[in-house]
């Protein structure tokens, strides 16, 4: 092997030597050779050979003691994107695991993070987390980004700003979600430096100037140190925590407080050897300085969902200086820095694992178990609920925009989220290019396309399944509007009919007479009168008589002659003012009669319905109705099927109905008389012919004895 080739990876190999064995080191070496050859003479913007970058990324991971496949994938991570050496080549040479990791990183790299809108950026964070099959892909990607941030100086200011912005908006929050605090911090500090260079410098200067602060910090840490020693607590370090410029800046922005006030808070961290020492150190601290009530948090007993463990408390320091104190063990500290990445850490010293850490391990093992058993990392994240947005789904529009919706959302919720008009005109939906019912619950990452019709109207049934407030309120609003519209039209129709019977018409009524009538009723327009008639609040016949009485010509005799109305035609599409009653379930072809119920519109019954005789005591509210010839739609109706009990009876009944392309809405059982059962089945049919078809089909079943509509 060429001596020259070994040089750039020497530091990496020595790091890996701490936790890997010879064959593993050989594999790393191989991956390096392949990457080096593939990148060939490529250089980075800084002018150095390209291979330095993947090595640096692998070093970052090696410092966290990541496993062999991760290190190899890090070395190869830009190969698939930038060179002719592809997925298949990597798979053949290094196996599927490494190849999949490289491919995952390449996919993330190719994702376009164009939008700087905050909402969209947040969605991207979530998408990134959701897209990958293996969490190591994200960790490698984060290491890649970290090295790019460390070498950002080589790029133009415009590029610097864009990449830094993206780091602040996308990568820093992801690192935080995964509990990788060291990454998070470095992303923020470096991102801040490039995005707001002036503000960065001002805050930095202010911190450096604080000489008095440093003295106070030293005083506090010396005092604590002495007290801990006196109690025989084997502390490893007591440190004033470094102030992070970006977090100071964010605090100023969020709380709208001046720099001096933010700087006034002192952060300390005590790192000790054992969990026991953590609690004892806490006692010492509370003894030394008075704790601020309500600020103590025990994340050791109850770790945060991402595995973070520590004791947190706030104290009143010397002269009332506020102190924020964290106490943890060394293991907890390492885990807090690396977060999820700690799982892949080399496990040679299994026996030395502390019980507290074992608990954390357990948690991570569980995560991985779920990740393995769930098909996608989306499910994984949903199942694991690692503080990672468990209640939302992310849906693509056909143009690739991402929408965030509450989980359980349907295509209708999606449509209304895009635009109110899209929701109102929605008639069908495709999910991932396939037609689905509008009530389908959407899943993460699906692409939803809404099909519309300009005259379409929301269906009241949608209210049964939509979950977003926006969809709900828009549907309600639209239905109300629709009902108003339909009632107004119906009212006009009814009034016209009555006037016609009186040999009059709206056109014949003098304008000021009409006006006088409207005024007595306090209506602004005649539409309000129509509406009240249509909805059943006023009787068309009475209003017609009033209006006709204004007419100059003599009243018509037609009334006395027992004038006869033409039946009102219904098409079934009149919507909200027409109610097909559920006592008799009328369907097209049935002789029907209407009843104008107050504030409700028209109830449609079959002429044979038992309720009709009772309704006849209000003859003025009865309307003769007829089905229009081109009546169209789906109508619910009820049949009683009497059958002899037999195994699989209900299934064969269901199947017979299904064969006629008929929907079953509901099935129940009324009587059971010995071996005889009566099913009550509600189906939707187009008309009587369709129903006859269903009945014929059912009668062919041996066990069916009788079928009736009641």
Distance CA 366, CA 539 (A): 70
Give the integer Cα–Cα distance in Å for 356 and 274: 9
C-beta neighbour count of 579 within 10 angstroms = 16
Contacts of residue 264, Cβ cutoff 8 Å, sequence gap at least 6: 321, 322
Stretch that binds Mn ion, among 77-85, 350-358, 361-369, 600-608 (CB under 5 A): 77-85
Q: Is 81 annotated as catalytic?
A: yes
Q: Shortest gap between Cβ of 77 and Mn ion (angstroms)?
A: 6
Active site residue 608: no
The residue at minimum Cβ distance from Mn ion is 144
Between 90 and 584, whose beta carbon lies closer to Mn ion? 90
To Mn ion, the closest distance from the beta carbon of 141 in angstroms equals 9
CB of 53 to Mn ion, least distance (A): 6
Does the protein bind Mn ion through residue 35 (CB under 5 A)?
no
Decide whether 50 or 246 has the Cβ nearer to Mn ion: 50
Comparing CB distances to Mn ion, the nearer of 78 and 543 is 78
- Smallest gap, in angstroms, from Cβ of residue 146 to Mn ion? 10
Q: One of 5, 81, 122, 528 is an active-site residue; which one?
A: 81
In the complex, what is the shortest distance from the CB of residue 60 to Mn ion, in angstroms, rounded to a whole number?
11
Nearer to Mn ion, 56 or 471 (CB): 56
Beta bridge partners of 604: 580, 594
Q: Minimum CB separation from Mn ion for residue 11, in Å?
A: 18
- 595 to 634: interface string for Mn ion, x by CB under 5 A: ----------------------------------------
Residue with Cβ nearer Mn ion (85 or 414): 85
Total binding residues toward Mn ion, as defined by CB under 5 A: 2
Whole-angstrom Cα distance, residue 641 to residue 704? 7
Buried b (16+ CB within 10 A) or exposed e, 378-411: bbbbbbbebebbeebbbbbeeeeebbbbeeebbb
Please give the Cα distance from 348 to 121 (Å, whole number): 40
- Residue 220: strand, helix, or coil: helix
Stretch binding Mn ion (CB under 5 A), from 71-79, 232-240, 545-553, 610-618: 71-79
Closest CB to Mn ion among 187 and 531?
Answer: 187
End-to-end CA distance of the chain: 93
Q: Which helix (H) or strand (E) holds 65?
A: none
Strand partners, 1: none
Q: Binding pattern to Mn ion, positions 552-591, x when CB under 5 A? A: ----------------------------------------
CA distance 217 to 219: 5
Nearest to 316 by CA among 339, 291, 296, 298: 291
Residues with Cβ < 8 Å from 488, sequence gap 6 or more? 527, 530, 531, 534
Closer residue to Mn ion, CB minimum distance, 77 or 343: 77
Give dist(CA 681, CA 691) in Å, integer: 12
Using CB atoms within 10 A of its CB, is residue 328 exposed (0-12), middle (13-18) or buried (19+)? buried
One residue of 9, 32, 71, 78 binding Mn ion per CB under 5 A? 78
Neighbours of 672 (CB within 10 A): 10
Rounded (10°) angle between helices 355-373 and 377-384: 140
User: Which residues inside 138-157 make contact with Mn ion, applying CB under 5 A?
Assistant: 144
Catalytic residue chosen out of the listed positions 30, 82, 122, 642: 82
Contact 2, 37 (CB under 8 A): no
Residue 256 and residue 437: Cα distance in Å, rounded? 49
Return the closest-CA partner of residue 482 out of 433, 425, 397. Answer: 425
> Which span sits near Mn ion by CB under 5 A: 78-86, 125-133, 393-401, 486-494?
78-86
Nearer of residues 144 and 574 to Mn ion, judged by Cβ:
144
Three-class secondary structure of residue 288 per DSSP: helix
Rounded to the nearest whole angstrom, what is the least distance from the CB of residue 73 to Mn ion in the complex?
A: 11
Q: Smallest distance from the beta carbon of 74 to Mn ion, in angstroms?
A: 9
Comparison of 94 and 266: residue with beta carbon closer to Mn ion: 94
From 10-18, 72-80, 282-290, 573-581, give the range in contact with Mn ion by CB under 5 A. Answer: 72-80
CA 114 to chain centre: 21
Residue 168 C-beta: closest distance to Mn ion, Å: 19
Active site residues: 81-82
Contact footprint for Mn ion (CB under 5 A): 78, 144
């Amino acid at each position: 092997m060429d001596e020259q080739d070994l040089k750039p990876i020497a530091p990496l190999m020595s790091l890996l030597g701490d936790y890997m064995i010879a064959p593993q080191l050989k594999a790393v070496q191989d991956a390096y050779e392949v990457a080096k050859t593939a990148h060939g003479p490529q250089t980075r913007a800084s002018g150095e050979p390209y291979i330095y970058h993947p090595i640096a990324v692998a070093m970052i991971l090696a410092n966290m003691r990541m496993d062999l496949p991760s290190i190899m994938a890090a070395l190869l991570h830009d190969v698939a994107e930038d060179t002719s050496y592809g997925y298949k080549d990597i798979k053949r040479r290094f196996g599927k695991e490494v190849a999949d990791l490289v491919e995952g990183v390449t996919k993330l790299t190719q994702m376009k993070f164009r939008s700087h809108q905050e909402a969209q950026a947040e969605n991207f964070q979530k998408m990134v987390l959701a897209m990958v099959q293996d969490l190591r892909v994200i960790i490698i990607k984060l290491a890649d980004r970290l090295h790019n941030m460390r070498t950002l100086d080589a790029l133009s200011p415009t590029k610097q700003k864009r990449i830094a912005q993206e780091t602040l908006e996308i990568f820093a929050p992801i690192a935080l979600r995964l509990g990788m605090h060291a990454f998070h911090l470095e992303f923020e500090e470096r991102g801040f430096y490039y995005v707001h260079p002036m503000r960065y410098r001002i805050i930095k200067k202010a911190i450096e100037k604080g000489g008095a602060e440093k003295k106070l910090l030293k005083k506090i840490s010396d005092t604590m140190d002495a007290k801990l020693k006196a109690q025989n607590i084997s502390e490893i370090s007591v440190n004033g925590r470094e102030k992070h410029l970006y977090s100071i800046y964010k605090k100023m922005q969020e709380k709208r407080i001046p720099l001096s006030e933010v700087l006034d808070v002192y952060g300390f961290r005590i790192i000790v050897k054992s969990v026991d020492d953590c609690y004892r150190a806490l006692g010492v601290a509370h003894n030394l300085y008075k704790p601020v009530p309500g600020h103590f948090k025990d994340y050791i007993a109850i770790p945060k969902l991402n595995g973070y463990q520590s004791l947190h408390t706030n104290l009143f320091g010397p002269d009332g200086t506020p102190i924020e104190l964290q106490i943890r063990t060394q293991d907890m500290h390492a885990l807090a820095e690396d977060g999820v990445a700690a799982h892949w850490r080399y496990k040679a010293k299994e026996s030395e694992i502390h019980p507290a850490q074992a608990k954390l391990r357990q948690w991570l093992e569980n995560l991985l178990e779920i990740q393995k058993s769930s098909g996608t990392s989306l499910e994984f994240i949903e199942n694991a609920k690692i503080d990672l947005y468990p209640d939302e789904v992310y849906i693509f529009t056909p143009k690739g925009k991402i929408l965030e919706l509450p989980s359980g959302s349907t295509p209708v919720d999606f449509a209304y989220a895009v635009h109110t008009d899209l929701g109102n005109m929605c008639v069908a939906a495709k999910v991932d290019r396939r037609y689905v019912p509008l009530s389908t619950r959407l899943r993460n990452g699906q692409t939803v396309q809404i099909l519309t019709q300009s005259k379409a109207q929301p269906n009241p049934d949608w209210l049964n399944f939509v979950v977003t407030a926006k969809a709900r309120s828009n549907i309600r609003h639209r239905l109300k509007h629709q009902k108003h519209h339909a009632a107004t039209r119906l009212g006009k129709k009814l009034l016209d009919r009555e006037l016609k019977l009186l040999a009059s018409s709206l056109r014949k009524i003098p304008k000021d007479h009409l006006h006088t009538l409207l005024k007595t009723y306090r209506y602004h327009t005649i539409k309000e009168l129509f509406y009240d008639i249509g909805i059943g609040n006023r009787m068309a016949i009475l209003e017609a008589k009033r209006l006709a009485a204004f007419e100059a010509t003599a009243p018509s005799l037609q009334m006395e002659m027992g004038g006869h109305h033409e039946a009102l035609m219904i098409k079934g599409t009149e919507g909200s003012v027409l109610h097909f009653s559920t006592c008799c379930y009328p369907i097209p072809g049935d002789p029907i009669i209407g009843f104008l119920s107050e504030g409700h519109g028209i109830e449609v019954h079959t002429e044979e319905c038992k309720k009709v005789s009772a309704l006849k005591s209000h003859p003025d509210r009865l309307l003769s109705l007829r089905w229009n010839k081109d009546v169209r739609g789906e109508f619910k109706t009820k049949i009683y099927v009497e059958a002899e009990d037999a195994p699989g009876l209900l299934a064969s009944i269901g199947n017979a109905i299904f064969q006629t392309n008929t929907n079953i809405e509901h099935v129940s059982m009324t009587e059971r008389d010995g071996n005889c059962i009566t099913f009550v089945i509600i189906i939707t049919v187009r008309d009587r012919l369709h129903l006859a078809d269903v009945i014929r089909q059912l009668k062919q079943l041996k066990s069916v004895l009788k079928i009736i509509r009641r």
